[in-house]
Chains A and B, each alone.
Chain A
Amino acid sequence: MIVDLPNTTTNEISKRLVEARSESGAVAQGRVLTLILVTDESGSDDAIGTANDASREHPSRVLVIVRGSTDGDSRLDAQIRVGGDAGAAEVVVLRLFGELANHGSALVTPLLLPDAPVVVWWAGEPPADPVNERIGTMATRRIVDSSRAADPLAALTQLASVTAPGTTDLSWSRLTRWRALLAAALDQPPYEEVTSAVVRGAKDKPSVELMAAWLAYALECPVTIEHTDAGTGMVGVTLTRASGDISIVREDGTVATMTQPGQPVRRVALHRRTDVDCLIEELRRLEEDELFSDVLTKGMPRLTQGATV
C-alpha cells in the first residue's frame, strides 16, 4: 500500500504511518532498526529496492531522504509504503526542497523507532565526514559506498582521514567472501609466513585498495596493487610463501580458480556480491568495526602502488 502526501508535515506523516499500518494489516511488530537512506532523485529507486530486500532479513523502518533542489521555497513531499510494496520494511520517502533540503536530520527525528538502533546509509556520493554530518551523529552505524563517489580512490583516502569505529564502507563488505577464502587457505598447513602479496583489480574499485590494505595490515609484508581495466572488479590475489604461491584468480566475475602448492587446482564459485547481500551483512553487526578502522588508518599507508597492467 502506498500513500502519497504532497506538501506535508512530519506530524501528518506520523499519523498516516500509524493508519496505513493498521489498514494494511502490517502491524509494526519486531522492527529492529531504523535505516536512514540518503540519496538523490536519480538513485533513489535502486537504493529503496535494495533496502526493501535487506529488510527481509532485518525488518526495519526505512526513512529515505531524497535531497531535491535547494533553490526555491522549502517544501516536504512524502510517500509512505507498507505491506507488499515495502518488503518487510515500512518505508517513508521524504523529498526535500529549498532550504529544508539542508535539514534532513530535523525531519527524521520524530520518525525514528523508539529505543532501536539507527543506521545511516549514504547510497550515493559519500559525505566528506560521515561521523560529523548532522545526520551521522544520530546513528550508531554509518555506511558509505566509496565506489559510488565521483572519484572513488579520493573518497577512500578521505574516509581514511576521518575514520570512526562505527563507519563502514560497502566496498569492504564486498570483500568478505574473498577474505574468507584467503583466511581459510592460511588455516591449512604448511604454516609459513607470507613474504609478499599482489592484489589485482579494477582501477575504479576501492575494494581493491581495501583488500591490499587489509593484507598489508594483517600480514605486515609488502603488498603490490596491479590495476586492471575499469569494470573488471576484483580479479586476483596472490600470497607468496617459501613453498610457493597461493593464488585466487577470478577473471569472469563468477568462478575463481584457486592454486596452492601441492594441491590440485580448484575452482570455486565466487560471484560478485550484490548490494543487498552487502547491506544485510552490514546490518547484521551493529557494533563498531574496529578492524575496518585499522585497515584504513594503519593498512592504507603501507601500500606501494604498482604499475597499471
Chain B
Amino acid sequence: MSPTRVSASENPLRDDRDRRLPRIAGPSGLVMFGVTGDLARKKLMPAIYDLFNRGLLPPGFSLVGYGRRDWSDADFAEQVRSSVSRYARTPFRAEVWEQLAEGLRFVQGNFDDDAAFDRLAEVLAELDTTRGIGGNYGFYLSIPPGAFPVVTKQLARSGLSRQDGDSWRRVVIEKPFGHDLESARELNEVVESVFPPDSVFRIDHYLGKETVQNLLALRFANQLWEPIWNAHYVDHVQITMAEDIGIGGRAGYYDGIGAARDVIQNHLLQLLALTAMEEPISFDAKDLRAEKEKVLSAVRVPIDLDSAAARGQYSKGYQGNEAVNGFLEEDGIAPDSITETFAALRLDIDTRRWAGVPFYLRAGKRLGRRVTEIAVVFKRAPFLPFDNTATGELGQNAIVIRVQPDEGVTIRFGSKVPGTAMEVRDVSMDMSYGESFTESSPEAYERLILDVLLGDPPLFPRHEEVELSWKILDPFTKHWESAGKQPEAYYPGQWGPASAHDMLSRDGRSWRVP
C-alpha cells in the first residue's frame, strides 16, 4: 500500500464531496491601521474574534494594531477585548480569547514615522518566528483615503509590501474609492504602484458577499424569473438605499461628498449591475466581473440631467419622536453648503434586454426608515377582463429584493378580495432569509476578512468597475457643481424632496414606499 500523493494542488484530506470541511485560512497575520475608529471597534475586531471562535483562522493568527495612541500590547488587548465582549456575535469563551490575545501586538506611531514602520517590520518578523505566521500579512487600511499615499509608501520603504517566495502581502481598502474618475485613478495608481492588482481588496461593507450571492442565487439558480427579467415584462426598476440617520459626526467627510458619491457610485451601481447583468459563464471572479463591467459600460446617462435627477437636503424637523437639526445646522457644515443628502437619478441601459426600461436610483439620509431594496416593477397586464371598478385598487406586479434590514424577497400581485363582489387588490408574498434559514448568519465582515486571508477575491470590485461607476456618476456631479444650486429642502422622516417625486411622475410612475 503506497500512501496517497500530497502536493500543492492535491490534498488527500480535502475531498470535493466533503461539504463539511470549512476552509481555514493558512498561516497569516493582519495589520490594522485605524484601530481606534468606530469601524474597527464595532465591526472588524468582533469579526476577527468570531472567525477565531468558529475555528476559521489559523492557529497562531496574529493581529497587529498600528496607531498614534501611546498603548502597550496589553492596553491594545484590553481595547480589543472590550469591543469583542460588547459586539461579537458568538459567545465569549475565555480559552478562545486567550489564544487570540497571545497574538495581539501594538505599534505606536504616525503614518509618516519611518522608525515606527521599521518597528512594525520587526514585530512582524518576531511573529513569524514565535507564532509561525509564515510571512503572510494583510494590511487593513481603515483610514481616510488621504492617508493612503503616505502609508503605502511607508509599506514599500520598510520592505513590508514586498512578497517573496510562497508568502503573500495583501492590502484592504474601504470605500470611498476616490470622489470622481480622476481622483479614483490617482488613488489606484498610488495603491497599485506598491501592491499588484490581485493583492488589492476593495471592501464594500454594505454589499456583503452574502447579499451578493443571495442575489446571484435568486436570479441564476431559478427558472422562474429569467423569462420575465427583461424589457418585455419589466416596466422599470427602483433601487433605494435609505437611512434614517443624519450625517452624525461625519461632517468633515460628508461635506462636499454628498449622497451620490457616498453611496450611489458604489452600492447602488453595484446593485444595478447585479440586477441587470447577463448570466456569467461561471461564478469565478473573472467571469462575474466581465458581466458587471459589460452592463456598467452599457449604462447611458440621460441628456437632460436636470429632469432626470433630483437632489435634496434634509431640513429641521422631527424624525419619529426625536427633534433633529437640518443639514445646514449640523456641526461642521457650512451654512451655505450645497452638498446633497438625498439624490435620485434615472439611468438607462442600452442592451436588448433592458431597452426602454429606466432604472431609478435614490439614496438619502433622514428618510422614512432604514431600508435598502431593489424593486423590479412589471408592466400592467395588457388586457384585464374585469370592470374598471374591479381593478381600481390593483397596482403593478413587483418583485422586491429586500437587501436590508430583514433580507428577503417580496412578490406583489393582485388577488380577489373575498366576497360576492369582484374586486382585485394587491397582496404580498414574503420570503425572509431570517425565517427560512438562520437567525444568526455571519457578519459581512467575517466573510470579507476570511476571503482576504484565503486570497479569494470574486466579489471585490476591481479598479475597472470603480472607474466605470465614476464615469456614470461624474456627469451628474459635475453638472450640479457648475450649476451651484442649493438642493431642495425636505422634511426628515419623509421620502425626499418634491422634485424626486416629480421626476417619476413626469414619466407616469411613482416611487414605492419601501
Contacts and interface: CB of A to CB of B under 8 A. Distances in A.
B336 interface: no
A183 B5 contact: no
Nearest to A190: B6
Contact of A187 (B11, B93, B439): B11
Contacts of B7: 191
A295 B111 CA distance: 54
Contacts of A287: 19
Contact of A186 (B1, B11, B17, B96): B11
Nearest to A268: B59
Contacts of B60: 264, 266
B contacts with A: majority SS: loop
Interface in B38-82: 52-53, 55, 58-60
B436 A266 contact: no
Given A186-B11, A218-B4, A218-B12, A255 B438 contact: no
Contact of A183 (B1, B11, B93, B129): B11
A29 B5 contact: no
Interface string B384-425: 000000000000000000000000000000000000000000
Interface string A164-198: 00000000010011011111101111011111000
B99 interface: yes
Interface in A227-278: 254-255, 258, 260, 263-264, 266-271
A111 interface: no
A46 interface: no
Given A30-B435, A187-B11, A189-B8, A180 B22 contact: yes
A184 B95 contact: no
Given A30-B435, A179-B13, A271-B95, A189 B166 contact: yes
B256 interface: no
Interface string B1-40: 1111111100111110111111110110000000000000
B383 interface: no
Given A220-B2, A264-B129, A269 B435 contact: no
Interface stretch (A53-61, A102-110, A149-157): A53-61
A281 B22 CA distance: 11
Interface in B103-125: none
A58 B437 contact: yes
A269 B98 CA distance: 9
Contact of A266 (B26, B131, B437): B131
Given A187-B11, A263-B132, A281-B20, A30 B5 contact: no
A203 B59 CA distance: 28
B440 A57 contact: yes
A168 to B, nearest CB: 10
A189 B6 CA distance: 10
Contacts of B131: 264, 266
Given A57-B437, A218-B13, A267-B99, A191 B432 contact: no
Contacts of B438: 56-58
A15 interface: no
Interface of B: 1-8, 11-15, 17-24, 26-27, 52-53, 55, 58-60, 93, 95-96, 98-99, 102, 129-132, 134, 166, 430-432, 435-440
